[in-house]
Structure 1
Amino acid sequence: MSAVALLLAARGLEVSGSDAADGPALPGLRDAGVAVHVGHDAALVEGVDTLVVSSAVRESNAELAAARAAGVRVLHRSQALASLMADRDGVAVAGAHGKTTTSAMIATGLLAAGADPSFAIGGTVLTAEGSVGGGRQGTGRAFVAEADESDGSFLAYGPLVSVVTNVEPDHLDHYGTRDAFEAAFVAFAGRIRSGGLLVACVDDEGARRLVERVRDDLAGRGVEVRTYGRSAEADVRVGELTACDGGWTFEVSTGEATAAPTTVTLALPGAHNALNAAAAWTVLVRLGVPGPDAAAALGSFRGTGRRFEDRGTAGGVRVVDDYAHHPTEVAALLRAARSVAGDGRVLALFQPHLFSRTRTFAHEFGAALDLADVVVVTDVYAAREDPDPSVTGALVVDRVPTAGRATFVADRFDAARAIADAARPGDLLLTVGAGDVTALAPTILERLAARAGDGGPAQ
């Protein structure tokens, strides 16, 4: 929502908005001329032409109810974003996981290549020159958007290029079944403009099925399909990821006789990030950036906020925050963390996100968390859902295969202190989840510093 507000303000519109609580996004909005209010109040929509809402806003919200009663036009966030993209070469990135990083990689690559893109991404974009923020208005043709499939709103876009990182079932509270979830991605692919491109990860079974279902139809409309992955059948093949000075490196190759493999160097660990970068590289080439230049541009990417984000070190323990909230994401994160930790252990403080997701994927979460050495699970972050007393973090802990590896601590601050007390010098400690677990890093660092008697955390 903050990215959309920034973009609307950059287009010269008078923009105001409210949030339930103060947070890190609000100062930047105020600096951009957005009138920001903390707390929701029906009076705030008086005199406005349009109200833009996210899926988290319920009909009972005071401002939304007042807008409905007054006949004010109400748009979903995706509709507002689609209007901003309408006159640009839109790039929409979707998938159950990986879309924030992949869209940020594309945006960063375009910036580094001098294309001056616009973008709307659900996280702060980090580059070698510093933080760019999640929303940017550029003068170039390209507009990169993270496309949220959680409620079907990604069908509002009509992009030139669509990326599907995976079609792994999630958000079944909205879709109900795997078939309905996959059908939404078929419809998403059908929204690509004539002459455009679908980029999909052939390593993912759901994305592979998507390509099989839509390839002929897209070809009939002049839409190209390019797959990527480690599989030999991929159009853009991803080589082995190896550590190097300053990061990790791998090769992408297209199998074309006249094209030599291109080396990509990333600042971020993890085989999953190599796949994300391959998708970004494929898009950059389609948008006119030469392959070697696209690879070099991706080297300037330093990550996004809450994706393996360093929060500090205290008592010899490095603390990293990550947004992972799906079992596949958690497993990929912990594998990447293992490659970074060296001889140290990997500790995870995990906050489940949504009662429905926790209930559906409890076994999968347990298996993923078993990749860590020590795990503390706190209670569920409800987000948009009503409480369900039958679903707690204990449901996940009970399904971690290795006995004694995981502990349930309901209160999140107690959980933060518990994971800090379990750490020792040389360990890598992760705060993991899409909720307010991200706010616990200072508590952990303070506990670590106090225990070590070193006077405070090193940043």
Structure 2
Amino acid sequence: MNINNIRQVYLIGIGGIGMSALARYFRHLGCLVGGYDKTETELTRRLVAEGISVNYTDDFTIIHDAFKSTDEHTLIIYTPAVPSELAILNEFQQLGHALFKRSQVLGLISQNKFTIAVAGTHGKTTTSTLIAHILTDSGYGCSAFLGGISTNYNSNVLFSDNHVMVVEADEYDRSFLTLYPDIAVVTSADADHLDIYGDKDHLHESFLLFLNQVHEEGKRIVKTGLPFDADIGYSATGPADAYADNIHVKHGAFYFDYVWDEGSIADVHLGIPGKHNVENAVAAITVARQLEIPTAKIVKALSSFAGVRRRFEYIIKTDETIFIDDYAHHPEELKAFLSAVRQLYPTKKLTAIFQPHLFSRTRDFADGFAEALSSVDTLLLMEIYPAREMPIKGVDSRMLLDKVTIGDKHIAGADNIKEYVRQTRPELLVTVGAGDIDLLVKPLKAILEHV
């Protein structure tokens, strides 16, 4: 597959965050782009507005004939999240198309580029977006494939004429093993995706393989404490080759000093909150320093960084009401998010709406989830979002709720949650989860803004 010969691209599962980035990339190159997804969303509507055709019916006959050509100019991309019995998927295969995973295509695109790949079970989306923002804002430039919508650019893909590429390297299904980075960052390697890996040791083996694929003259920038060799270790607290010191909140914002063996950068303002995001910023600064971006430009970019949609995203921020939405779906992410909320608003009563994601993840990390959720004042727990899974006997939200130690805790559906918020009007409200909980954000915002 010569990626430079491609003229038409069809994506099966185009509504996914990673797939939609590829759709936009090929559209930017001037290709005819279309795709299928089972559900219309805000993201697919935006793709259509950008000139990309999307259909929501599993019917091969309605697909444009241009995408059915099996010549070297046609590329069919699919996500492993789509079911194997999907008619469109099978029809393309029967025509003789070679189908490529999203990760394989990213590998092909990155082959002739200076690639900065950010991996980790959590933290990778914010860190890769931070790096891309520093490179773009400073004028250094980069193309980027991100796992979330950058608030600064209102997109999950950036374009540049230079040969530098920033990519979020996904460990799910070992996808990141298609990449051979010049700079690799590993933010975390907590047990996750055990439905794929079985145990933490096999997950770590995959990360080791990823780090071993860094070019000989490249750099491995790894959070300290992880069981991997690094050229540069980093941390939010030290000791490390690069770390944050003097982390403090000033005027409702996070500040810190960036320290390395040869010096420091004092009083860096980070545009997003949380100690975990300070750690992500340390990694991003370290990458920028490898590229010799001037310190003043790095500091300016960090201050103007507006974050990633659904990563500590303020929906309402007034004196009366704070409403924050976040994607956290692993216990460590949840703990970091709630800790940051508490640090910013220590005197406010915290009401959390949480939707567990996957039966297997809820089963495997129930105690960790319960510990994190026990730190809030009021909990409204939604039913588990199944995503790609079938139910597991004995694993449900009631099982998780029973482990939470606070008294003010409830199982609640969408309608109950809306009514609760309407009646109680929480002063500090968070919605958290990776399923379809985001569909509640607009209705709850409307309720809270209605006087």
- TM-score normalized by structure 1? 0.88
Structure 1 residues 313 and 286, CA gap change in structure 2 (3 angstroms)? closer
Deviation at 1:419, TM superposition (A): 4.9
Query: 1:241-294, CA deviations, whole angstroms, 9 ceiling, x for partnerless residues?
Result: 2122472110111122xx243442112111000000000001111122133432
Q: Give structure 1 regions of 4+ aligned residues with deviation exceeding 6 angstroms.
A: none
Q: Would you say the 8 A contact 1:413–1:443 is kept in 2?
A: no
Among residues 156, 165, 184, which one is paired with 1:162 in the alignment? 184
The yes-or-no answer on 1:289 pairing with 2:311 is no
After superposing the two structures, state which structure 1 stretch, 439-448 or 296-305, moved more.
439-448
Among residues 369, 384, 391, which one is paired with 2:388 in the alignment? 384
Q: Would you say the 8 A contact 1:375–1:405 is kept in 2?
A: yes
> Within 2, Cα distance between the matches of 1:116 and 1:230?
27
The yes-or-no answer on 1:175 pairing with 2:197 is yes
Q: Give the corresponding residue for 1:218.
A: none
> Within 2, Cα distance between the matches of 1:246 and 1:314?
12
Among residues 238, 247, 264, which one is paired with 2:268 in the alignment? 264
Q: Give the corresponding residue for 1:10.
A: 28
> Within 2, Cα distance between the matches of 1:172 and 1:95?
14
Among residues 235, 238, 244, which one is paired with 2:244 in the alignment? 238
Instruction: Report the secondary structure of 2:147's partner residue.
Output: coil
Q: Would you say the 8 A contact 2:257–2:264 is kept in 1?
A: no
Deviation at 1:99, TM superposition (A): 0.6
Structure 1 residues 303 and 105, CA gap change in structure 2 (3 angstroms)? same
Q: Give the corresponding residue for 1:406.
A: 409
> Within 1, Cα distance between the matches of 2:223 and 2:270?
19
Query: 1:135-172, CA deviations, whole angstroms, 9 ceiling, x for partnerless residues?
Result: 12211222111111121111111111111001111000
Q: Would you say the 8 A contact 1:353–1:435 is kept in 2?
A: yes
Q: Give the corresponding residue for 1:42.
A: 60
Following superposition of structure 1 onto structure 2, how do residues 49-68 of structure 1 map, counting pairs within 5 Å?
49-68=74-93
Between Structure 1 and Structure 2, how many residues are aligned?
426
> Within 1, Cα distance between the matches of 2:216 and 2:31?
31
Task: Tell me the C-alpha RMSD between the 2 structures.
Answer: 1.9
Deviation at 1:371, TM superposition (A): 1.5
Q: Would you say the 8 A contact 2:236–2:275 is kept in 1?
A: no
The yes-or-no answer on 1:442 pairing with 2:448 is no
Q: Would you say the 8 A contact 2:77–2:101 is kept in 1?
A: yes
Instruction: Report the secondary structure of 2:171's partner residue.
Output: coil
Structure 1 residues 341 and 230, CA gap change in structure 2 (3 angstroms)? closer
The yes-or-no answer on 1:187 pairing with 2:215 is no
Q: Would you say the 8 A contact 1:119–1:145 is kept in 2?
A: yes
Structure 1 residues 267 and 124, CA gap change in structure 2 (3 angstroms)? same
Q: Give the corresponding residue for 2:419.
A: 417
The yes-or-no answer on 1:201 pairing with 2:223 is yes
> Within 2, Cα distance between the matches of 1:31 and 1:449?
29
Deviation at 1:389, TM superposition (A): 5.1
Query: 1:181-229, CA deviations, whole angstroms, 9 ceiling, x for partnerless residues?
Result: 1000000101111211111111xx4x2x112xxx5xxxxxxxxx11111
Deviation at 1:69, TM superposition (A): 1.8
Deviation at 1:35, TM superposition (A): 1.9
Following superposition of structure 1 onto structure 2, how do residues 51-130 of structure 1 map, counting pairs within 5 Å?
51-127=76-152
Among residues 326, 330, 352, which one is paired with 1:326 in the alignment? 330
Q: Would you say the 8 A contact 2:246–2:257 is kept in 1?
A: yes
> Within 2, Cα distance between the matches of 1:384 and 1:197?
35
After superposing the two structures, state which structure 1 stretch, 170-179 or 15-24, moved more.
15-24
Among residues 252, 256, 261, which one is paired with 1:255 in the alignment? 261
Deviation at 1:32, TM superposition (A): 3.5
Deviation at 1:231, TM superposition (A): 4.7
Instruction: Report the secondary structure of 1:194's partner residue.
Output: coil
Q: Would you say the 8 A contact 1:96–1:167 is kept in 2?
A: yes
Structure 1 residues 136 and 28, CA gap change in structure 2 (3 angstroms)? farther
The yes-or-no answer on 1:352 pairing with 2:356 is yes
- TM-score normalized by structure 2? 0.90
Deviation at 1:55, TM superposition (A): 2.5
Q: Give the corresponding residue for 2:308.
A: 304
> Within 1, Cα distance between the matches of 2:194 and 2:161?
38
> Within 2, Cα distance between the matches of 1:41 and 1:428?
46
Segments of structure 1 that go 5 or more residues without pairing to the other structure are 216-224, 455-459
Deviation at 1:313, TM superposition (A): 6.0
> Within 2, Cα distance between the matches of 1:30 and 1:443?
24
> Within 1, Cα distance between the matches of 2:30 and 2:240?
44
After superposing the two structures, state which structure 1 stretch, 103-112 or 85-94, moved more.
85-94
Q: Would you say the 8 A contact 1:268–1:302 is kept in 2?
A: yes
Query: 1:348-370, CA deviations, whole angstroms, 9 ceiling, x for partnerless residues?
Result: 10000011001111111000011
Query: 1:45-85, CA deviations, whole angstroms, 9 ceiling, x for partnerless residues?
Result: 63363321122112112211112222211111111112222
> Within 1, Cα distance between the matches of 2:445 and 2:32?
41
Deviation at 1:314, TM superposition (A): 8.8
Q: Would you say the 8 A contact 2:115–2:183 is kept in 1?
A: yes
Q: Would you say the 8 A contact 2:236–2:278 is kept in 1?
A: no
> Within 2, Cα distance between the matches of 1:35 and 1:230?
44
The yes-or-no answer on 1:339 pairing with 2:340 is no
> Within 2, Cα distance between the matches of 1:60 and 1:369?
38
* Percentage of pairs with the same residue: 33
